[in-house]
Amino acid sequence: MLPFPITIAIDGPAASGKTTVGKMLADQLGYLFLDTGCMYRAVTAAALQQDTNLEDEAAVTHIAQTMQLEIASGAGYDDGRQYTVLLDGRDSTWEIRTPAVDANVSLVSSYLPVRQEMVRQQRAIGGKGGVVMVGRDIGTVVMPNAPLKLYITATAAERARRRLNDRQRQGQSGDYDHILADIIRRDEYDGSRTHSPMLPAADALILDSSDKPAATLVADILAMLESLSASQPVS
Protein backbone atom coordinates (compact mmCIF):
# COMPACT_ATOMS: atom_id res chain seq x y z
CA MET A 1 0.00 0.00 0.00
CA LEU A 2 2.77 2.43 0.98
CA PRO A 3 5.96 2.63 -1.06
CA PHE A 4 8.05 2.09 2.10
CA PRO A 5 7.41 1.62 5.82
CA ILE A 6 6.59 4.74 7.78
CA THR A 7 6.20 5.66 11.43
CA ILE A 8 2.66 6.09 12.71
CA ALA A 9 2.38 8.02 15.98
CA ILE A 10 -0.78 7.53 18.04
CA ASP A 11 -1.42 9.48 21.23
CA GLY A 12 -4.41 9.89 23.49
CA PRO A 13 -5.71 9.54 27.04
CA ALA A 14 -6.13 6.32 29.05
CA ALA A 15 -8.56 3.75 27.60
CA SER A 16 -9.31 5.85 24.52
CA GLY A 17 -8.98 2.80 22.27
CA LYS A 18 -5.59 3.91 20.95
CA THR A 19 -3.85 0.64 21.87
CA THR A 20 -6.53 -1.57 20.28
CA VAL A 21 -6.57 0.56 17.13
CA GLY A 22 -2.76 0.75 17.02
CA LYS A 23 -2.35 -3.02 17.36
CA MET A 24 -4.94 -3.75 14.64
CA LEU A 25 -3.31 -1.22 12.34
CA ALA A 26 0.17 -2.66 12.94
CA ASP A 27 -1.10 -6.19 12.26
CA GLN A 28 -2.78 -5.13 9.01
CA LEU A 29 0.30 -3.26 7.79
CA GLY A 30 2.78 -5.89 9.00
CA TYR A 31 4.40 -3.23 11.21
CA LEU A 32 5.98 -3.44 14.62
CA PHE A 33 3.63 -2.35 17.42
CA LEU A 34 4.97 -0.51 20.46
CA ASP A 35 2.69 0.52 23.32
CA THR A 36 4.98 2.90 25.23
CA GLY A 37 2.59 3.07 28.21
CA CYS A 38 3.66 -0.47 29.13
CA MET A 39 7.23 0.79 29.58
CA TYR A 40 6.23 3.40 32.21
CA ARG A 41 4.02 0.75 33.79
CA ALA A 42 6.94 -1.69 33.91
CA VAL A 43 9.13 0.86 35.73
CA THR A 44 6.29 1.42 38.22
CA ALA A 45 5.70 -2.32 38.76
CA ALA A 46 9.44 -2.91 39.27
CA ALA A 47 9.65 -0.06 41.80
CA LEU A 48 6.62 -1.39 43.70
CA GLN A 49 8.09 -4.90 43.69
CA GLN A 50 11.31 -3.60 45.21
CA ASP A 51 9.47 -1.49 47.81
CA THR A 52 11.11 1.63 46.41
CA ASN A 53 9.85 4.97 47.66
CA LEU A 54 8.10 6.21 44.51
CA GLU A 55 8.74 9.82 45.47
CA ASP A 56 12.49 9.14 45.29
CA GLU A 57 13.17 10.26 41.71
CA ALA A 58 16.80 9.08 41.71
CA ALA A 59 15.87 5.58 42.91
CA VAL A 60 13.05 5.26 40.37
CA THR A 61 15.38 6.53 37.62
CA HIS A 62 17.96 3.91 38.57
CA ILE A 63 15.30 1.23 38.09
CA ALA A 64 14.30 2.66 34.70
CA GLN A 65 17.93 2.63 33.57
CA THR A 66 18.80 -0.86 34.78
CA MET A 67 15.68 -3.03 34.47
CA GLN A 68 15.67 -5.55 31.64
CA LEU A 69 12.49 -4.95 29.70
CA GLU A 70 11.49 -7.12 26.79
CA ILE A 71 8.28 -6.77 24.81
CA ALA A 72 7.45 -9.95 22.94
CA SER A 73 4.54 -11.23 20.86
CA GLY A 74 1.31 -12.18 22.63
CA ALA A 75 0.76 -15.09 20.24
CA GLY A 76 0.11 -18.48 21.84
CA TYR A 77 -1.71 -17.10 24.92
CA ASP A 78 -5.50 -17.17 25.23
CA ASP A 79 -5.80 -14.64 28.07
CA GLY A 80 -6.55 -11.62 25.89
CA ARG A 81 -3.06 -10.10 25.93
CA GLN A 82 -1.94 -7.96 22.98
CA TYR A 83 1.74 -8.58 23.71
CA THR A 84 3.90 -10.10 26.43
CA VAL A 85 5.93 -7.96 28.85
CA LEU A 86 9.00 -9.61 30.35
CA LEU A 87 10.46 -7.72 33.28
CA ASP A 88 13.87 -9.04 34.26
CA GLY A 89 12.91 -12.21 32.40
CA ARG A 90 9.60 -12.73 34.25
CA ASP A 91 6.20 -12.57 32.56
CA SER A 92 4.73 -9.35 34.01
CA THR A 93 2.04 -8.75 31.39
CA TRP A 94 -0.77 -8.52 33.93
CA GLU A 95 1.26 -7.27 36.87
CA ILE A 96 1.74 -3.94 35.06
CA ARG A 97 -2.07 -3.53 34.88
CA THR A 98 -2.91 -3.77 38.60
CA PRO A 99 -4.75 -0.92 40.39
CA ALA A 100 -1.52 -0.22 42.35
CA VAL A 101 0.32 0.44 39.09
CA ASP A 102 -2.62 2.51 37.76
CA ALA A 103 -2.47 4.64 40.89
CA ASN A 104 1.28 5.34 40.70
CA VAL A 105 2.26 5.34 37.04
CA SER A 106 1.47 9.03 36.48
CA LEU A 107 3.95 10.04 39.19
CA VAL A 108 6.66 7.76 37.81
CA SER A 109 6.11 9.00 34.26
CA SER A 110 6.38 12.64 35.38
CA TYR A 111 10.11 12.26 36.18
CA LEU A 112 12.28 13.80 33.44
CA PRO A 113 15.20 11.32 33.67
CA VAL A 114 12.75 8.39 33.56
CA ARG A 115 11.18 9.89 30.43
CA GLN A 116 14.59 10.49 28.84
CA GLU A 117 15.52 6.82 29.33
CA MET A 118 12.17 5.58 27.98
CA VAL A 119 12.34 7.90 24.95
CA ARG A 120 15.88 6.70 24.22
CA GLN A 121 14.68 3.07 24.25
CA GLN A 122 11.56 3.90 22.20
CA ARG A 123 13.63 5.57 19.48
CA ALA A 124 16.06 2.64 19.46
CA ILE A 125 13.16 0.22 18.93
CA GLY A 126 11.11 2.24 16.43
CA GLY A 127 13.56 4.64 14.82
CA LYS A 128 13.80 2.74 11.53
CA GLY A 129 10.12 3.12 10.68
CA GLY A 130 7.60 0.40 9.96
CA VAL A 131 6.19 0.97 13.42
CA VAL A 132 2.96 1.99 15.07
CA MET A 133 3.93 3.67 18.33
CA VAL A 134 1.28 4.48 20.92
CA GLY A 135 1.51 6.78 23.95
CA ARG A 136 1.07 10.34 25.17
CA ASP A 137 4.04 12.18 23.63
CA ILE A 138 4.84 10.19 20.50
CA GLY A 139 3.78 12.88 18.00
CA THR A 140 5.15 15.74 20.10
CA VAL A 141 8.45 14.37 21.46
CA VAL A 142 9.39 10.80 20.58
CA MET A 143 8.70 10.79 16.83
CA PRO A 144 7.93 14.43 15.89
CA ASN A 145 8.72 13.72 12.22
CA ALA A 146 6.24 10.85 11.88
CA PRO A 147 4.31 11.37 8.62
CA LEU A 148 1.06 10.24 10.22
CA LYS A 149 0.08 11.45 13.69
CA LEU A 150 -3.21 10.57 15.30
CA TYR A 151 -4.74 11.60 18.59
CA ILE A 152 -7.47 9.18 19.63
CA THR A 153 -9.84 10.27 22.33
CA ALA A 154 -13.26 9.35 23.83
CA THR A 155 -15.42 10.67 26.63
CA ALA A 156 -14.23 9.89 30.16
CA ALA A 157 -17.46 7.94 30.84
CA GLU A 158 -16.95 5.70 27.81
CA ARG A 159 -13.30 5.16 28.70
CA ALA A 160 -14.23 4.16 32.27
CA ARG A 161 -16.80 1.71 30.91
CA ARG A 162 -14.16 0.12 28.66
CA ARG A 163 -11.62 -0.12 31.48
CA LEU A 164 -14.24 -1.79 33.71
CA ASN A 165 -15.00 -4.31 30.93
CA ASP A 166 -11.27 -5.05 30.55
CA ARG A 167 -10.96 -5.68 34.29
CA GLN A 168 -13.99 -7.96 34.32
CA ARG A 169 -12.71 -9.91 31.33
CA GLN A 170 -9.48 -10.50 33.24
CA GLY A 171 -11.50 -11.83 36.19
CA GLN A 172 -10.77 -8.77 38.36
CA SER A 173 -13.36 -6.80 40.26
CA GLY A 174 -13.84 -3.10 39.62
CA ASP A 175 -16.06 -0.24 40.57
CA TYR A 176 -17.17 2.10 37.77
CA ASP A 177 -17.11 5.30 39.85
CA HIS A 178 -13.67 4.49 41.17
CA ILE A 179 -12.31 3.80 37.70
CA LEU A 180 -13.89 6.98 36.31
CA ALA A 181 -12.34 9.06 39.10
CA ASP A 182 -8.92 7.48 38.44
CA ILE A 183 -9.19 8.19 34.69
CA ILE A 184 -10.12 11.84 35.29
CA ARG A 185 -7.30 12.22 37.85
CA ARG A 186 -4.79 10.68 35.43
CA ASP A 187 -5.97 12.88 32.51
CA GLU A 188 -5.40 15.96 34.66
CA TYR A 189 -2.01 14.81 35.91
CA ASP A 190 -0.71 13.62 32.51
CA GLY A 191 -2.02 16.72 30.74
CA SER A 192 -0.56 19.26 33.15
CA ARG A 193 2.83 17.79 34.03
CA THR A 194 5.91 19.90 33.25
CA HIS A 195 7.71 17.40 31.00
CA SER A 196 6.06 16.23 27.78
CA PRO A 197 2.45 16.73 28.87
CA MET A 198 -0.20 14.70 27.04
CA LEU A 199 -1.09 16.86 24.04
CA PRO A 200 -2.05 16.36 20.41
CA ALA A 201 0.78 17.43 18.08
CA ALA A 202 -0.09 20.55 16.08
CA ASP A 203 -0.38 18.42 12.94
CA ALA A 204 -2.16 15.44 14.53
CA LEU A 205 -5.51 14.27 13.29
CA ILE A 206 -7.96 14.06 16.18
CA LEU A 207 -10.29 11.04 16.14
CA ASP A 208 -13.13 10.45 18.62
CA SER A 209 -13.68 6.75 19.30
CA SER A 210 -16.66 7.16 21.68
CA ASP A 211 -19.20 5.88 19.18
CA LYS A 212 -16.92 4.10 16.72
CA PRO A 213 -15.79 0.50 16.92
CA ALA A 214 -12.02 0.05 16.62
CA ALA A 215 -12.41 -1.81 13.29
CA THR A 216 -14.20 1.21 11.74
CA LEU A 217 -11.47 3.57 12.91
CA VAL A 218 -8.80 1.26 11.50
CA ALA A 219 -10.60 1.13 8.13
CA ASP A 220 -10.77 4.97 8.13
CA ILE A 221 -7.05 5.24 8.92
CA LEU A 222 -6.09 2.72 6.21
CA ALA A 223 -8.15 4.72 3.69
CA MET A 224 -6.34 7.86 4.83
CA LEU A 225 -2.98 6.15 4.32
CA GLU A 226 -4.01 5.21 0.77
CA SER A 227 -4.75 8.82 -0.08
CA LEU A 228 -1.60 10.02 1.70
CA SER A 229 0.58 7.71 -0.38
CA ALA A 230 -1.28 8.63 -3.59
CA SER A 231 -0.99 12.38 -3.01
CA GLN A 232 2.55 12.83 -1.74
CA PRO A 233 5.80 11.02 -1.14
CA VAL A 234 5.98 10.03 2.53
CA SER A 235 9.15 9.88 4.58
Binding site for ligand DC (CB under 6 A): 14, 36-37, 40-41, 105-106, 109, 135-137, 186, 190
DSSP assignment, residue 204? P
Q: Which is nearer to ligand DC, 184 or 228 (CB)?
A: 184
Closest approach of ligand DC to the CB of residue 207, in Å:
16
Q: Which is nearer to ligand DC, 149 or 186 (CB)?
A: 186
Which helix (H) or strand (E) is 139 found in, with range? none
Selection from 52, 149, 168, 152 nearest residue 100 by Cα: 52
Largest interatomic CA distance in the chain = 54
Selection from 117, 143, 152, 119 nearest residue 11 by Cα: 152
Q: Which is nearer to ligand DC, 6 or 9 (CB)?
A: 9
Q: Which is nearer to ligand DC, 96 or 225 (CB)?
A: 96
- 73 DSSP β-pair partners: 83
Q: How would you class 217 by CB atoms within 10 Å of its CB: exposed for 0-12, middle for 13-18, buried for 19 or more?
A: buried
Closest approach of ligand DC to the CB of residue 120, in Å:
13
- With contact defined as beta carbons under 8 Å apart, do 145 and 93 qualify? no
- 34 DSSP β-pair partners: 133
DSSP assignment, residue 97? G
Q: Which is nearer to ligand DC, 123 or 128 (CB)?
A: 123
Per-residue burial over 56-88, b if 16 or more Cβ lie within 10 Å, else e, is ebeebbebbeebebebeebeeeeeebbbbbebe
Q: Which is nearer to ligand DC, 37 or 129 (CB)?
A: 37
